[in-house]
A and B are shown apart, each in its own frame.
Chain A
């Protein structure tokens, strides 16, 4: 049973460019959440996708957008990159049934460096 996978592992971009990060959820999961983790900080919630729609959003600008596909995989897009967007981007998947836990399982992350 594959866990959450993310690609690419590392990425280097320059200011003003655009980037797309990808995530495949754990088998059986239908909800994908994205988090940004700056160096030395805890992860910050960006948004959550369910049924191909953005269901919740954290305090991030519109430059951050996403998409969820019918197979539940997801993309995170960031436009007009800033130096401050350099971070580890984590994808987490979960199941949207009201189960005993609210457990989100995380992928290994994509390390984005903006020069």
Chain B
């Protein structure tokens, strides 16, 4: 079955690195995503990784994928107060060449203390 798990809360100090973790159960997923949601807003795509990669870096963001353990992480370097939000991990699949739906975790609430 499809399931995505995340820890619910993370608190860090401004300037530190944040690491948000996610586990998924379906090894046939093709893409894995990180979305950010600020209070009262929709979801903002942060970054994604294809399932045959093990790392992707994009400015302050580093995504690590351990396909054997079905573990995905998002590291935010030099975390700022503006990074405070809920972060969702999501997986998607291709069905016969068509795009699949996204399966989301419950989200990790990141609090950044000045």
Contact = CB atoms under 8 A, between A and B. Distances in A.
A98 B92 CA distance: 13
A43 B105 CA distance: 8
Contacts of B82: none
Interface string A68-111: 00000000000000000000001010101010111111111100
A18 interface: no
Interface in B63-107: 88, 90, 92, 94-95, 97-107
Nearest to A44: B104
Nearest to A31: B99
A107 to B, nearest CB: 5
Nearest to B35: A106
A109 B50 CA distance: 27
Interface range on chain B (Cβ under 8 Å from partner): 20 to 34
A42 interface: yes
A42 B88 contact: yes
14 contacts: A33-B102, A40-B106, A42-B90, A42-B105, A42-B107, A44-B104, A45-B101, A45-B102, A56-B100, A101-B50, A102-B92, A102-B94, A106-B35, A106-B42
